[in-house]
Structure 1
Amino acid sequence: MSLIDLSWRNMKRNFRLYTIYFISMLVGVVIYFTFSGLMYNKDVVAAIQNKENYQTVILIASIIVFLFIVFFILYANSFFMKQRKKEFGMYLLYGMKERQVATMVFFETLFLSAFAVAGGILIGGLLSKFFGMVLMNLMHYNDDISFAFPLKAILSTILIFVLLIVIITIQSYFNVRRVQLVELFHAKEKMDKPFKFSFILAILSILLIAGSYYTITLSGHTELWSEHFNLVLIATTAALIIGTYLFFRQFSGWLLQKMSERKNYLFGNKMLWISSLRFSIRGNTINFTFNSLISAVVIFGVGFIAVDYAVKADVVKKEFPNHFVFSTPNENALTEVEEIMNDAHPILAHETITGIQTEKFTDRTPFYSYPEYYTEEFYLFPESQLNAIVDLRGVGDKVNMQENESILLTRGIDDPTKYSDLTITVLENQEFEVTEKIRYPLLSIPTNPGGDTGPQPSVLVISDEVFDSLKENNVLSSYEVYQIEDPNTSNEESRKIHKIITGTEGAYYSAYVDEYSTNTESSSLVLFSVAFFAVIALFALGSVIYFKQLREATEEKEHYAILRKMGVEDKELKKIIRKQLLFVFLPPLLLGLAHSWFLLYYTVIQVIQDLPSLTTIIFSVMGLYVLTYFIFYISSASIYYKIINEKNTR
């Protein structure tokens, strides 16, 4: 019998074990090809406005996805090899050489990889349409996405997994070389001993976690964080990590020990599942700690990015309320601009506003919290024109100015403020009393289709009477403000209009779509990528627990067989397994949720209080995470029972 025949027979004989490994590889191919397919999907690329930025982000994300997949599949292969130690030992005992065993494993990996790559590309291609539609929806685009199997994506997936096969083969070879024949006879003698737990260390774990939580609650504007940020951050992180480790190493063990000392310990099935858990605490501590901390990072990361995505969409609307606004060009240029707009995006409203430019102010700190974001010169506009723009936008409050009163218009980085003794002198001798500062950009931040921005015009609103008296002796600057239909997709029109307007030196230009496409596309890509990473991370974490429980189930077969002989029924065995696995899945999840909640509440929820959907977003992220973990728990319990029941069904 050749090694190829032996490899094929092994795969058919141990179908369940190979299926678990095959699914791991298949999921890896699906994830990578889906992501890679999005980078080359013609429909997606055509819809994206900032194509270079999109492909760069997707490329970086694909590399990160690949690294996740490498880690996950190598872990799965390591589990697979450990499950087959006895088998490899028998081959060596029968006279096969290590090189021959490694070659057999290579053929098995090759067979599985070929099926996984073929199936993964097919499934990934089908899923790429769905994920492409999700991405378009996040970007608020209405483009149709078709099923696609880009040749570049197929070739890169095959190349990546050929490289992975080589890495797996090398890993498998060293695993085979480490197999000792003596393990065939003493494999069952290596068992965890009951671990002694310290009450002091158990309490210390709670104190460290509680202390880190308390420090996080002070993260707003306290001197502790503002003056010693790096030191406090390191100390809080260290306390959280050490506290989490001790929680699983000491507190959970101490809790189980106390449960074993209770009078009702011998009643029901408590003794069976509690004693099993006490023996496995030592081996599970690292996994529990890692899963809990990574869960916290994943939930916090996705929650934070999801909120950032929602906030950015709202901020762009507020900061760039003018779909188009630019310096008034000559009559021919203005006609050409309006034709460009109407051809694709009919004009809904138009207003011309006129202002007076003042001299430059080098010191603007009395007026702005961040003066570097505003022009040094001020622009004076009459109240009637501000009120006209309020009508045009349908957003904002109209003003009514008295004599030399004035209102300062700012952007979101400046808080609204009322003044009682603030004055400003412009145009050499004209003094105004600044009564308040409000967030209402009359003239938005200057933009261009490439994504660059400039300082926002400093705008001062004054009364109509005073403006009329000043305009005769000063140079006036007029601006055209347009609202159009469906401004989100006006990128091409913005490029054309920008080219016309900026043909005049010093002209002002700002378009909502320039900032919208840059911010919305980038935030959508980040959210999409992070959510994708979260799915991979969650799948990997769940699988780590899953594989470990399968290994423990295989090792516990004989113990459960003894329980059966003692008269324990199947229904009771299932209860024992469910309770045992609940302790394995639930504590890391609950602690991860607690960690992430404190981080999100004190760094996001309390900071951003005016977003109605904030808590909905965060609870949705947590809910999806819990649901996925629950699926892993149910699946693990089912497979665990099948494995320990395997001998009795043969």
Structure 2
Amino acid sequence: MSLLDLSWRNVQRNFRLYSIYLFSMITGVIIHFTFSSLMYNKDILNALENKENFQLGVIIASVVVFLFIIFFILYANSFFMKQRKKEFGMYLLFGMSERQIATMVFIETLFLGAISLVSGILIGGLLSKFFGMLLMNLMQYDNVISFAFPIQAIGSTILLFILLIVIISIQSYLNVRRVQLIELFHAKEKMEKPIPSSRILALFAIFLLGMAFLLISRGRASVVWQDYANVSMIAVTIGIIGGTYLFFRQFTGWLLQMVSRSKKFNEGNTVLWTSSLRFSVRSNTLNLTFISLFSAVIIILVGFVSINYAVQFEAAGRNLPNDIAFESLDEQTNEDIEKIIINSDHRIIYHEIIEGLSGKPATDMGIAFENPEYYTEDIFLLPEKQYNYIVTLRGHDQQIDLQGKEVVALSQGMDLPGRFTADKQPEFTVTTSEETTFQLVERKDYALLGWASDPAKSMTIKSAVLIISDEAYQDLNNATSTKSFEIYHIEDAKNAEALSEQVHAVVSKTPGAYYSSFADVYSVQIESSSLLLFAAAFLAVIALFALGSVIYFKQLREATEGQRQYAILRKIGVDQREMKSVIRKQLLFIFLPPLILGVLHSWFILKYYMLDTLQDYPQLTNIIWGILIAYFLIYFLFYLSSTSVYYKIVNQKN
């Protein structure tokens, strides 16, 4: 019998064993081909405003997702190689060389790779239309996406998976060469020793986790994070990583010891499911620690991009609150611009002119504006009456009431806006025709003019705006020249890119003139945030499956090694129902702790560092809960699948 025949028979005979392996490879091909086909789909490219950024983003996402696929498949391959050690030992005993065994495994991998590539590309091509429509829906475009099998996508997918097959073959060859013949026959008979657990270290694990959660829950505005940010960050990092490790290394073992010493230990099947767990704590510690921490990272990543996507639609309007706004130029130019807008497909809803004073800061800009490098050097002083009129016209509840030398800074985009108490109001001096010192009463997260924009460069710089009382404005206006801005609100502003280019071409003839258009930023932000969410969702699914497989394959290997022990249990009268109960409780103890810790780590960080700073978006909490529920359901499916397969393995007759 040739190696080719033997390899084909092995694939047929071990097809059930290879089914998960094959499924992971097909899934990897589908996901990679989907990303590649989206990058080359002409319907999608024609719909986008920023094709180059989209293609670059797809390439980066494809590489990251492919790295996770490699991890998933290599881990699965490592599991299968260990499961077949006894088989390889038989081949060595019958005279086959290590090179021949490695060649046989390589041929088997080629069979599986060929099946995966053909199946994955066909399924990926059929699904590309659905995923393309999903991406267009996220971007709120109505373009029709057709089925496509781009040659470039097929070629790149084949090349990458040939590389993956080579890596798998090298891994398999090294695994075959690494062990001796006697080890192959006794690979499944190695038993682990229970690790002694310390009550002090177990309690210390809870202390570290509690410390980390307490510091995080204080919030970014607390003294702890404002004055001792570096120390707090180090303490939280040590608390989360060290606490999680000690939780699995010491606390779980100590908890099992407490259970074994309880009066009810010999009642029911407690003694059965706890005994084997005490022997596997050592080997599961690093895996469960890694799963908990990395799961938290994945949930935080998906939560962040979901929040980013959810707020972009409103954030674009907050960053650029005016559909079109520009610094008033000469009368003829202003009239020409208005004619351009009137003759466009975008009806004018209202047109207002705001007038204020221009000044220079004599005080550190950082007092009034967060990240002052993003703001203009000049400051625009606007009376509260005009400000309140525009705010009311927009339908916003952001009116203010100022007296004397009180002033409000419009520091849009602040993480921690708020009013200053009467005894802590900083002074802020502005030079117009003379120096005037104001009392800063509030830094408000609100934009009157918003970012200056450019059709080609998107956002460029913010306008520094201070709102002063009407009395102060009258006193300064008598001796200072004024400055005005034209503000337009139009229909269908998000699709006004062509109009923006026309108006910008006129305004830009005056060097340094302010210009801002909602359309210049909307498409860029929505397209980038949609692609980020789309890619992160795929990455999260692959990552969760990869992390879940770490537990899954570990338990399957332990099930294979424990077949003899479960055979003894059957002989002494343990029935199938009791056996299933033991397996469910044993695996629940393995699956549940990383699930709980992963959720806790991610929830605390998302809650106190993202949701609490975005309280104007109450719907975000529901989004985060949806992500956590999805995470729970995926792991619950892994748990159910593991219990089912575990039971089938231990019931196999040797």
Q: Work out the CA distance in 2 between the residues paired with 1:435 and 1:84.
A: 74
Could you give the per-residue CA deviations for residues 250-305 of structure 1, whole angstroms, max 9, x where no partner exists? 21112222222333333322222111212221221111111111122222232233
Offset at 1:220? 2.8
Offset at 1:590? 0.9
Could you give the per-residue CA deviations for residues 120-156 of structure 1, whole angstroms, max 9, x where no partner exists? 1222233333333333333333333333322222111
What is the identity, as a one-letter code, of the residue corresponding to 1:575? S
Which of 472, 487, 506 does residue 500 from structure 1 map onto?
506
Residue equivalent to 2:272: 272
Which of 583, 589, 599 does residue 589 from structure 2 map onto?
583
Residue equivalent to 2:465: 458
Q: Work out the CA distance in 2 between the residues paired with 1:184 and 1:581.
A: 27
Residue equivalent to 2:283: 283
- Residue 596 in structure 1 maps to residue 602 in structure 2: yes
Could you give the per-residue CA deviations for residues 194-238 of structure 1, whole angstroms, max 9, x where no partner exists? 332222222222222222223333453455544543344234322
- Residue 518 in structure 1 maps to residue 524 in structure 2: yes
TM-score (norm. length: structure 1): 0.89
Which of 407, 414, 428 does residue 433 from structure 2 map onto?
428
What is the identity, as a one-letter code, of the residue corresponding to 2:394? R
Q: Is the 2:35–2:58 contact (alpha carbons within 8 Å) kept by the matching residues of 1?
A: yes
Within 5 Å, which residues of 2 pair with 1:379-458?
Answer: 379=380, 386=387, 389-390=390-391, 392-396=393-397, 408=408, 410-413=410-413, 415=417, 417=419, 428=433, 440-449=446-455, 450-458=457-465
Q: Work out the CA distance in 1 between the residues paired with 2:491 and 2:341.
A: 9
Worse-superposed segment, 358-367 or 178-187: 358-367
Q: Work out the CA distance in 1 between the residues paired with 2:336 and 2:128.
A: 41
Worse-superposed segment, 218-227 or 508-517: 218-227
Structure 2 gap segments, 5+ residues each = none
Residue equivalent to 2:535: 529
Could you give the per-residue CA deviations for residues 548-575 of structure 1, whole angstroms, max 9, x where no partner exists? 1111222222332333333332222222
Could you give the per-residue CA deviations for residues 373-396 of structure 1, whole angstroms, max 9, x where no partner exists? 444444455667546534643335
Q: Is the 2:133–2:145 contact (alpha carbons within 8 Å) kept by the matching residues of 1?
A: yes
Q: Work out the CA distance in 1 between the residues paired with 2:472 and 2:218.
A: 51
Residue equivalent to 2:615: 609
Q: Work out the CA distance in 1 between the residues paired with 2:566 and 2:458.
A: 65
Residue equivalent to 1:305: 305
Worse-superposed segment, 290-299 or 135-144: 135-144
Q: Is the 1:347–1:482 contact (alpha carbons within 8 Å) kept by the matching residues of 2?
A: no
For 1:456, what is the secondary structure of its paired residue? strand
Residues 571 and 246 from structure 1, CA distance in 2 versus in 1: closer, same or farther, beyond 3 angstroms?
A: same
Worse-superposed segment, 29-38 or 284-293: 29-38
- Residue 488 in structure 1 maps to residue 494 in structure 2: yes
Could you give the per-residue CA deviations for residues 583-622 of structure 1, whole angstroms, max 9, x where no partner exists? 1111111122122222223322333333211321221111
Q: Work out the CA distance in 2 between the residues paired with 1:345 and 1:275.
A: 75
Q: Work out the CA distance in 2 between the residues paired with 1:179 and 1:276.
A: 27
Residues 197 and 303 from structure 1, CA distance in 2 versus in 1: closer, same or farther, beyond 3 angstroms?
A: same
What is the identity, as a one-letter code, of the residue corresponding to 1:39? M
Q: Is the 1:386–1:461 contact (alpha carbons within 8 Å) kept by the matching residues of 2?
A: no
Q: Is the 2:353–2:484 contact (alpha carbons within 8 Å) kept by the matching residues of 1?
A: yes
Q: Work out the CA distance in 2 between the residues paired with 1:149 and 1:48.
A: 20
Structure 1 gap segments, 5+ residues each = none
Q: Is the 2:349–2:491 contact (alpha carbons within 8 Å) kept by the matching residues of 1?
A: no
Within 5 Å, which residues of 2 pair with 1:316-395?
Answer: 316-328=316-328, 337=337, 341=341, 345-363=345-363, 365=365, 368-370=368-370, 372-379=373-380, 386=387, 389-390=390-391, 392-395=393-396
Residues 379 and 608 from structure 1, CA distance in 2 versus in 1: closer, same or farther, beyond 3 angstroms?
A: closer
Offset at 1:323? 0.8
Could you give the per-residue CA deviations for residues 75-101 of structure 1, whole angstroms, max 9, x where no partner exists? 111111111111111111111111111
Q: Is the 2:292–2:595 contact (alpha carbons within 8 Å) kept by the matching residues of 1?
A: yes
What is the identity, as a one-letter code, of the residue corresponding to 2:465? S
What is the identity, as a one-letter code, of the residue corresponding to 1:497? V
Worse-superposed segment, 282-291 or 117-126: 117-126
Q: Is the 1:348–1:484 contact (alpha carbons within 8 Å) kept by the matching residues of 2?
A: yes
What is the identity, as a one-letter code, of the residue corresponding to 2:486? E
Q: Is the 1:406–1:432 contact (alpha carbons within 8 Å) kept by the matching residues of 2?
A: no
Number of aligned residue pairs: give it. 646
Q: Is the 2:28–2:69 contact (alpha carbons within 8 Å) kept by the matching residues of 1?
A: yes
Residues 74 and 92 from structure 1, CA distance in 2 versus in 1: closer, same or farther, beyond 3 angstroms?
A: same
Residue equivalent to 1:149: 149
For 1:358, what is the secondary structure of its paired residue? strand
Which of 631, 634, 638 does residue 640 from structure 2 map onto?
634
Residues 153 and 329 from structure 1, CA distance in 2 versus in 1: closer, same or farther, beyond 3 angstroms?
A: farther
Residue equivalent to 1:220: 220
Q: Is the 1:375–1:457 contact (alpha carbons within 8 Å) kept by the matching residues of 2?
A: yes
Q: Work out the CA distance in 2 between the residues paired with 1:237 and 1:426.
A: 46
Could you give the per-residue CA deviations for residues 484-533 of structure 1, whole angstroms, max 9, x where no partner exists? 22222333432333223212333221011223233333333333333332
Identity %: 52
Q: Work out the CA distance in 1 between the residues paired with 2:421 and 2:223.
A: 28
For 1:442, what is the secondary structure of its paired residue? coil
Q: Work out the CA distance in 2 between the residues paired with 1:366 and 1:90.
A: 75
Residues 232 and 406 from structure 1, CA distance in 2 versus in 1: closer, same or farther, beyond 3 angstroms?
A: closer
Q: Is the 2:412–2:447 contact (alpha carbons within 8 Å) kept by the matching residues of 1?
A: no
Q: Is the 1:374–1:458 contact (alpha carbons within 8 Å) kept by the matching residues of 2?
A: no
Q: Work out the CA distance in 2 between the residues paired with 1:397 and 1:226.
A: 27
TM-score (norm. length: structure 2): 0.89
Q: Work out the CA distance in 2 between the residues paired with 1:159 and 1:596.
A: 37
Offset at 1:407? 6.1
Q: Work out the CA distance in 2 between the residues paired with 1:19 and 1:623.
A: 28
Q: Is the 1:349–1:392 contact (alpha carbons within 8 Å) kept by the matching residues of 2?
A: no
For 2:186, what is the secondary structure of its paired residue? helix
Q: Is the 2:359–2:430 contact (alpha carbons within 8 Å) kept by the matching residues of 1?
A: no
